[in-house]
């Protein structure tokens, strides 16, 4: 235990054994309270936002857990064990000694955001508005982290049980000496997220940098939180506020028209490894840049697009025709008909993505009875993904329209991992009560080797033995 504590202090911060290294020395510990980063000027706190560790997430397990994927034994059997377990929706994905990236990455960020929240107003500098803006940005960014954590480790939000469902520990201090972590309820975590966002939004500027959380991004995140709680009228109003803020932002925020951008010379011009992706600073579809590296884009074939999902695309859907291949990476076609390998993009935006926000707002319109508005939005969206003659959405009732929006999400985000969170959200939704979620593992000759069914208990990750031993106040998920 002593060795562990020494490691904690050397690394600078830790939560639940989540080692997120920063540079510091023994001399530093002699002059600065343990757990503190060196920052005194207001500009120092601003610089804490600019760090690659604050931008990326070192886990792509959601790609394996998403509903739209399948696997072929020839490629799947050689995949890392954690990825195989994730695809099989097993109870324990990680080894007992592991510290999951889903914990370490987000808690490392929360440590930094807590320092800014608690210290920046006392920093050296004369611009109080700037200090308030930085604190607001850290609050909204912390809310984004907790929204991810509660959707990894808590049950999907249910207003009848959220007050008693175990969620995730709420940490508001940047102190490595804390060791009494207990799980707050799902309701407490959602209330905490909402409070952070509502407190932050009035002091946030309009977005000027895709690496930073601006007002529109925070409003969109707050709206998304309400969608996950089933508060669709509130979410719709907040989405409208977010789009107003996007319009007021100096950033160009809009969805690409793939009919144009995939042509030669366009920003999504097809190449040897799939469509190009614009640099972050110029990518108009990114509002708040946080990403994961999708190892199943371009190279890996351990999970593939399932035949059932491939059938959702129309013949002229550019998202399918430009982003998927029926062959191995520089290899022959797959032996299983109807499966496809994702080509691009290797970076999946998990921060605030304008496509996600647009489709969520469309879903809210459908759920609140504005069917005409939802269909109009869908057709506008689809015209950016295929020829206009293929973009029509047929008239349909409310239930079918809600399902159509979810299918549109699946077409947009297939084999990128984001639809794992959609499945969690709709798993107990009456509109989708008859749906089942199955992963199929095929033999190399195309016959079915095994199938795996998603159960409600597997909608949340379990803590590893390592974490539980170091934090005896924690309880595990089923």
CA distances, 358 to each of 220, 316, 380 (Å): 10, 22, 11
257 CB-side CA count, 13 A: 8
pTM: 0.92
Give dist(CA 106, CA 153) in Å, integer: 12
CA distances (Å), origin 279, targets 283, 289, 450? 6, 11, 41
Planar angle of CA 243, 246, 252, nearest 5 degrees: 135
3-state SS class at 324: strand
Per-residue pLDDT of the chain (478 residues; tens, 9 = 90+): 222 222 322 233 333 333 333 233 222 222 233 444 567 899 999 999 988 889 988 889 999 999 999 999 999 999 999 999 999 999 999 999 999 999 999 999 999 999 999 999 999 988 999 999 999 999 999 999 999 999 999 999 999 999 999 999 999 998 766 767 899 999 999 999 999 999 999 999 999 999 999 999 999 999 999 999 999 999 999 999 999 999 999 999 999 999 999 999 999 999 878 899 999 999 999 999 999 999 898 788 999 999 999 999 999 999 999 999 999 988 899 999 999 999 999 999 999 999 999 999 999 999 999 999 999 999 999 999 999 999 999 999 999 999 999 999 999 999 999 999 999 999 999 999 899 999 999 999 999 999 999 999 999 999 999 999 989 899 999 9
Q: What is the phi/psi pair of residue 349, to 5°? A: -75, 120
């Amino acid at each position: 235990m002593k060795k562990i504590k020494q490691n904690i202090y050397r690394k600078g911060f830790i939560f639940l054994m989540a080692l997120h290294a920063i540079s510091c020395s023994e001399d530093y510990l002699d002059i600065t309270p343990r757990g503190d980063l060196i920052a005194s000027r207001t500009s120092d706190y601003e610089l804490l936002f600019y760090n690659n560790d604050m931008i990326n997430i070192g886990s792509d397990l959601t790609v394996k857990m998403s509903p739209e994927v399948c696997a072929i034994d020839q490629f799947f059997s050689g995949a890392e064990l954690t990825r195989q377990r994730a695809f099989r929706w097993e109870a324990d994905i990680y080894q007992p000694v592991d510290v999951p990236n889903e914990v370490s990455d987000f808690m490392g960020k929360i440590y930094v955001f807590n320092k800014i929240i608690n210290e920046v107003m006392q920093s050296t500098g004369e611009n109080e508005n700037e200090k308030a803006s930085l604190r607001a940005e850290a609050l909204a960014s912390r809310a984004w982290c907790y929204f991810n954590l509660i959707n990894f480790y808590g049950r999907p939000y249910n207003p009848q049980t959220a007050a008693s469902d175990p969620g995730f520990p709420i940490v508001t201090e940047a102190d490595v000496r804390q060791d009494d972590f207990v799980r707050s309820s799902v309701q407490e975590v959602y209330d905490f997220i909402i409070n952070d966002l509502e407190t932050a939004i009035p002091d946030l500027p309009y977005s000027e940098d895709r690496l930073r959380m601006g007002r529109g991004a925070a409003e969109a995140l707050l709206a998304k939180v309400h969608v996950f709680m089933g508060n669709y009228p509130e979410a719709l109003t907040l989405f409208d506020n977010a789009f107003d803020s996007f319009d007021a932002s100096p950033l160009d925020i809009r969805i690409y028209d793939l009919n144009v951008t995939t042509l030669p010379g366009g920003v999504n011009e097809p190449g040897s490894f799939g469509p190009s992706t614009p640099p972050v600073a110029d990518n108009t579809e990114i509002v708040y840049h946080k990403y994961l590296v999708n190892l199943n884009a371009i190279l890996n074939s351990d999970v593939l697009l399932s035949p059932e999902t491939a059938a959702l695309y129309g013949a002229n859907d550019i998202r399918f025709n430009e982003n998927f291949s029926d062959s191995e990476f520089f290899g022959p076609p797959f032996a299983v008909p109807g499966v496809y390998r994702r080509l691009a993009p290797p970076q999946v935006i998990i921060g605030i993505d304008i496509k996600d926000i647009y489709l969520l707002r469309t879903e809210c319109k459908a759920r609140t009875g504005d069917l005409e508005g939802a269909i109009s939005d869908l057709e506008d969206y689809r015209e950016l993904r295929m020829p206009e003659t293929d973009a029509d959405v047929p008239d349909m009732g409310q239930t079918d329209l809600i399902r159509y929006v979810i299918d549109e999400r699946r077409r947009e985000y297939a084999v990128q991992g984001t639809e794992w969170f959609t499945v969690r959200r709709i798993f107990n939704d009456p509109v989708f009560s008859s749906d089942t979620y199955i992963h199929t593992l095929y033999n190399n000759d195309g016959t079915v080797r095994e199938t795996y069914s998603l159960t409600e208990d597997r909608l949340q990750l379990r803590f590893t033995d390592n974490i539980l031993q170091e934090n005896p106040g924690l309880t595990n998920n089923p």
